[in-house]
Amino acid sequence: MGSIFIQLGVIAAVYGVAIFWTRLAEAIAGSDQDIGRDECLNGLRGTAAVAVVACHINQYMCAFIGVSNPFVGDHLGILAVQLFFCLTAYLFTDKALKGSIDPAHFFANRVRRILPLYIFAVVAALAIALCYSWPAVMPIRQTLNESLDVVTFGLWKTDQLWFRGINMLSLIGVAWTLSYEWAFYVLLVPGNFLWRCGIVVRVCIAAIVGAILIRDFYLSSEQVIWPFFLPGVAAAFSKYLLPERLGRVYLSLALPSVFLVIWLPGFWTPVKLALVTPVFFAVTFGKPRWLGWPPLQTLGVISYSIYLIQYLVLYPSVQMIYTSPGLASVGSRLWMGALIASMTIVLASLTYRFVERPWVARSALARVASASAYSPSSSSA
C-alpha cells in the first residue's frame, strides 16, 4: 500500500511542477489558440501529455527508491495514450462526417503538423546518442542503416531500435504511437469514401470491423492496440444523437472507470477498452469544466511537444543520476525528478514556439484554402 502512495505522490508532484511552469510556457509559446478550439478536448490533451511524462518519471523514481512495480504510473500513462487515440479518431471522423476532408489537403496538413517536430526530435535523439557512443568504432554503413531505422520509426514501429550500441527506444520510443496515427489517417480517407456509398456498404464495413475486432482480441487479448481508436469513432457518430443528459451519466462513470483502469491487470485488453470508452465519452459529452482551467489549456497547446521531447530530457538526466555520486541520495534524486519535469515543460514550450508553431500557422492557412476550394455541399451526406 505504501508503494501506491509513493507513486501517487510522484505523479501529483509532476502535475504540480507542470502547472507551476505554465505561465512561463505560455509566455514562450504564445497564446494564439485556435478560436474554435474545444476547451475540454484541449484540456484533455494537456492532462494526458503530463500523465505520460509522470508515468516515465515515476518508473525511474520507483527504481531509485526501491519500488519494484510502478503499476499506478504505468496504467495511467497507457490510459493517456489510449485517450490520445480516441481523440484523434473523434476529431477526424467528425471532420469526415461533415464532408470537409479533401485527401490532398488533409495529408498535406497532417505532414505539416506532425513531421517538423518529429524530425527535430529524431535529429536531437541521434545527436544525443552520438555523444554517448562517440568512442565506439562502428562501420559507416551500419551507422547509416541504423540512422534510417531511427528516422522511419514513427512510420513503422519496431520492437528494437539501436544506434551505435544505444537503445534508441530510450530516446525516441514514445513516437511508436505515430505509426498507429498514420495508419488511421490512411484508412480514414477510403473509409470515408466507402461510407458514403450507401447503407449496404455501411453495414458491411461495420460487420468487417466487428469481425476483425473479435478475431484480434480472441487471438491476442493483451496487445491489440487499434481498437482504442473506436471510442473516438463512436463518439463522432453519436455526437448529435445522444441526449444531453447522458453526458452527466458518463461523468458519473468516469472516475470509477479510471480507478478500474489503474487497478485491473493488463493494458490493451477488451476490459480496458470498455473502461476507456466512458472516460472519453465523459469528456466529449459531459464537458467537465475543470478541463477548461487555463494551465491545462496552455499544456494542451504544447501537448505534442511535451509528449515527443520528454525522453530527450529524461535519458541524459537519468544517465547523469546513475553516474554522479553526488546524486546518490533519495532526496537528490527526487529533486532531479522535479528538474526533469520542469525542463520538459520549458523545452516543450520552446519547441512549440520555434518548431511547431510556424508550421501550425501554415496548416491553419491551408485549412482556410481547403475550405474555400472544397465545399462540403458538393459531397453526399
Residue 84 β-bridge partners: none
DSSP state of 167: E
3-state class percentages of the chain: helix first, strand second, coil last, to nearest 5: 80, 0, 20
pLDDT of the chain along its 381 residues, tens only? 678 999 999 999 999 999 999 999 999 998 655 556 799 999 999 999 999 999 999 999 998 888 888 999 999 999 999 999 999 999 999 999 998 789 999 999 999 999 999 999 999 999 999 999 988 888 999 999 999 999 999 999 888 999 999 999 999 999 999 999 999 999 999 999 999 999 999 999 999 999 999 999 988 767 899 999 999 999 999 988 888 788 999 999 999 999 999 999 999 999 999 999 999 999 999 999 999 999 999 999 999 999 999 999 999 999 999 888 888 888 898 899 999 999 999 999 999 999 999 988 776 555 555 544 444 433 333
When the pLDDT of each residue in the chain is averaged and rounded to a whole number, the result is 91
pLDDT at res. 160: 92
- In contact, 233 and 89? CB cutoff 8 Å: yes
Residue recorded with cell 478560436: 35
pTM, to two decimals: 0.92
Note the pLDDT tens digit of each residue in 257-275: 999 999 999 999 999 999 9
- Exposure string for 18-32, b = 16+ CB within 10 A, e = fewer: bbebbeebbebbeee
The alpha carbon torsion through 336, 341, 346, 350 (nearest 10 deg) reads 110
Question: Could you tell me the three cell numbers for 319?
Answer: 544517465
DSSP state of 352: I
pLDDT at res. 219: 85
Sorted by where each begins, the domain ranges of the chain are 2-123+227-378
Q: From the centroid of its chain, how far is CA 333? A: 27
